[in-house]
Amino acid sequence: MAARLVTPGLTRVILKSPPDLGFYPRYVATYNEMFLARPQMQGEASIESEEAPTKSHTERLLYGIAVDRRLGGDRGGTSQRHRRPKRNSYDRDPS
């Protein structure tokens, strides 16, 4: 991976950890505006509860994404230690 080529335009992207969850009301408002403009998106997309970004922020896995110094969105994750293992068809009890 150290020899991986630099992607053109990558220098235009900045990831920055937000100081708090001040973006959350804007996030909810943006989705609500989308649902008003595109009612067919309800059921296809959903608004995360504040719990998910709070957990990401606590684990320092929440980032604001800026391209050309303009905020493009927020992205968060959670560590593997908090995830339940996914069940696959081969996990089923054969009985």
Domain ranges in the chain are: 12-78
Where do we find the tokens 């150290």? 2
> What b/e readout covers 24-46, taking b as 16+ CB neighbours within 10 angstroms?
beebeeebeeebeeeeeeeeeee
Q: What is the pLDDT along the chain (95 residues), one digit of tens a residue?
A: 567 677 888 888 888 888 999 989 988 999 999 999 999 998 898 898 999 899 989 888 888 888 898 877 777 776 765 455 455 444 444 44
Verdict on whether the full-model pTM lies above 0.85: no
